[in-house]
Structure 1
Amino acid sequence: MLDRVEREGSIQTDHSAGLPGLMKLFIHEILPSNVTKSIFVDTDAFFISDPILLWNIFDTLRPQTSLVMASHPDQDSPEWNNASRICSCVMLLDLAKLRKDRLMHSSVYAKIKPDNPGQALSTAAFRAMYGLPGGDGKGRYTNVRLGDQGYWWAIVDYHKNIFEPLSFDFEVTSCLMDTYLTGLGADTITEKEELKHQIHLDDTPQEGKAVLPKLLHFNCLHGTDVYMNWAGWNDPNDSLNVRWGDAMRYHNGYKWIWLNQGDRKKPLHQVEMYTNDKVVFADEKALKRYMQHIQANKHGNPHHH
């Protein structure tokens, strides 16, 4: 991780997620190249609907779109350069496009093609929002807030053509908007009535349309490292607990062995888990191909590719 950030050359973080949090900018490099699309969800968020509803959004996107994120365009946070207008807590990533367009910089590309290294999507975006890294182009950014989200914000603000926002349904968060004041209960309510009770929707893309929660995000529960252990879950008068405590307890108590029960004759219908502990980043792969090309030429095979 550290080596890849070093080769990128300009990013650093003051966020509690630390260096691992910045790896969200390199998911397209971390996942194997045969994985062409992915969903990313923060570890303090969980689905209360079928994840296929989120995955199916890929089928609705413009041809040039490679990034989809939770979006709150009405948020105003100048101290964070307005980075709270998106949330990198839930993302759809077209990994193939991000690889093709080279999202992140590396010093390796200048070694491979010193005359024409090409420019990563992020380089111009970071400079447009935050200026030169370190102030002189020789250091690292010290004015980026919210960790990776501050960098994602620069990317989607600069490259608007590759970004599309998610519906509020997929980011019902305890950190902003009071979860629109929706929650469990009133199970026969109509959408029209539900909308009357919801808040923070005026002057947003979701105005006039009820939020129908599909993913819950329990961030900003200060004083606890693990959201399930938050003291508020034991307070019968806490508004968040009243509205969402039962959902959290169900999710927390759900057994993993119950999850993988798709059609065993159709492996694609089952949930599988993988650990990739031998990550080779894209720039390392490019350097390896380049060195193989050099070696092939040395051995008298100039037409080898």
Structure 2
Amino acid sequence: MFSEDSAAEGAILIKSIIMYSSSPLAFHIICDKAAQEYLEKRLSLLKHPQHDILVRYYRIPQEDMKKRIEREGALHTDHSAGVPGLMKLFIHEILPPTVQRAIFIDTDAFFISDPTQLWARFKALQPGVAVSMPSHPEQFAPDWHHANRICSCIMLLDLARLRELRLMDSSHYREDSQHSPALAPPAFKSMFGEPVPDGDSGRMKYDGVKLGDQGYWWAIVSHRPEIFEHLPYDWEVSSCLMDMYHTGLGDDDVDEETERRTQLHTNNDAEKGRTILPKMLHFNCLDGVDRYYEWPGWKDPGNDLARRWLPAVRHHVGFKWIWLNQPASTATLQVETLFDVKFADELFSESRSTAGGGPQ
């Protein structure tokens, strides 16, 4: 979360997780000062959580993020998320090795069910799988290298496996000839070709990458499909598909077969014949606003998206933080802030220097 606007959205996501969770929670929030200050005001209202909660802020300056991208060698983005958006490729390097798994979720989403169900999916992943996200094989966008066939908006990340694979490259890693090369460069070159000069900057870049980090994730999972697994659409009911699979609030007595027959965009091997049962809503692609709940379309009584989902948006935005308190609970809220955050490649370089190692 980099900006107050992203924190305003992310606070609703965090609130929804606390609302529905049947398990203790740990939030690892990579952010700037403005985002942290916004979140702290809300979280300070939570005195008696139902379950133990850890909130850890990782404060990384923009300059440090840019330097990590430069050490990779050729990453580039023209996506509105900018440099912070590319950090989704480095979560395994930012979070410490003690955090072995994590769920990443874009800020413009919220749960309508227990997130413990999503965490349980880690146990169901096939051996060797490092990342699970929704996939849309029927999508078609040659100019994007078909990067819309996945959505990195929600990802189950086996961080330990990504570290083992050495997902992203770095000049620090390239100095050590005794270690295996990173996974990503061959994937990027296979999809985008060799890096080309980036104008007058003197840097190299992969050309034609669209959708920010998602374009790079698409190259990775296309090149190494054995580390990828589809995540059911229940966890990504997305307004980028404006019809949201044609599901929504209403008709509370509908049966699954009737619901299934009205669904859209589900005729693929991963979802064929299955009824979408929404568990998380994602309000992306609502252009013109910095906070999805301020989208003008919500005020249009004839808007189909508003008719189906506005009550859910209003409920989760307006649900008061103080209502999360459970006075009889003995659970605690623990808050930490890490300022001197170093990427794993930096720690790797420091460890080699301490051990007396140098370029081989």
TM-score normalised per structure 1: 0.89
Residues paired across the two proteins, number: 290
* Cα deviation digits, residues 113-142 of structure 1 (max 9, x gap): 2x3453111011101111111179x71113
Corresponding position of 2:96: 32
Deviation at 1:32, TM superposition (A): 1.7
* Cα deviation digits, residues 266-294 of structure 1 (max 9, x gap): 66xxx766544332101111111111111
Corresponding position of 2:192: 130
Q: 1:11 to 1:262 in 2, by over 3 A?
A: farther
Residue among 141, 145, 161 paired with 2:206: 141
Corresponding position of 1:246: 311
Corresponding position of 1:110: 174
Query: 1:219 aligned to 2:291?
Result: no
Task: Give every structure 1 segment of 4 or more consecutive aligned residues whose post-TM-superposition deviation is greater than 4 Å.
Answer: 260-267, 271-275
Query: 1:16 aligned to 2:80?
Result: yes
Instruction: Determine the C-alpha separation between the residues in 2 that align with 1:278 and 1:257.
Output: 32
Corresponding position of 1:98: 162
Q: Does 177-186 or 121-130 show the bigger shift?
A: 177-186
* Cα deviation digits, residues 55-78 of structure 1 (max 9, x gap): 110010112011001111111111
Q: What's the secondary structure of 1:49's corresponding residue?
A: coil
**1:185-264 matched pairs, under 5 angstroms:** 185-259=250-324, 261=326, 264=329
* CA root-mean-square deviation: 2.1
Give 2:173's aligned amino acid.
Y
Judge conservation of contact 1:69–1:87 (CA < 8 Å) in 2: yes
Residue among 113, 118, 121 paired with 2:183: 121
Give 1:153's aligned amino acid.
W
Deviation at 1:167, TM superposition (A): 0.5
Judge conservation of contact 1:101–1:120 (CA < 8 Å) in 2: yes
Deviation at 1:160, TM superposition (A): 0.6
Query: 1:44 aligned to 2:108?
Result: yes
Instruction: Determine the C-alpha separation between the residues in 2 that align with 1:23 and 1:189.
Output: 42
Judge conservation of contact 1:74–1:204 (CA < 8 Å) in 2: no
Deviation at 1:192, TM superposition (A): 1.1
Judge conservation of contact 2:192–2:207 (CA < 8 Å) in 1: no
Judge conservation of contact 1:110–1:116 (CA < 8 Å) in 2: no
Judge conservation of contact 1:67–1:92 (CA < 8 Å) in 2: yes
Deviation at 1:265, TM superposition (A): 4.2
**Which structure 2 segments of 5+ residues have no match?**
1-64
Task: Using CA pairs under 8 Å that are at least 6 residues apart, name the structure with larger relative contact order, 1 or 2.
Answer: 2
Give 1:90's aligned amino acid.
I
Q: 1:261 to 1:9 in 2, by over 3 A?
A: farther
Instruction: Determine the C-alpha separation between the residues in 2 that align with 1:8 and 1:216.
Output: 33
Give 1:184's aligned amino acid.
L
Deviation at 1:163, TM superposition (A): 0.4
**Which structure 1 segments of 5+ residues have no match?**
296-305
Judge conservation of contact 2:141–2:148 (CA < 8 Å) in 1: yes
Give 1:294's aligned amino acid.
G
Corresponding position of 2:35: none
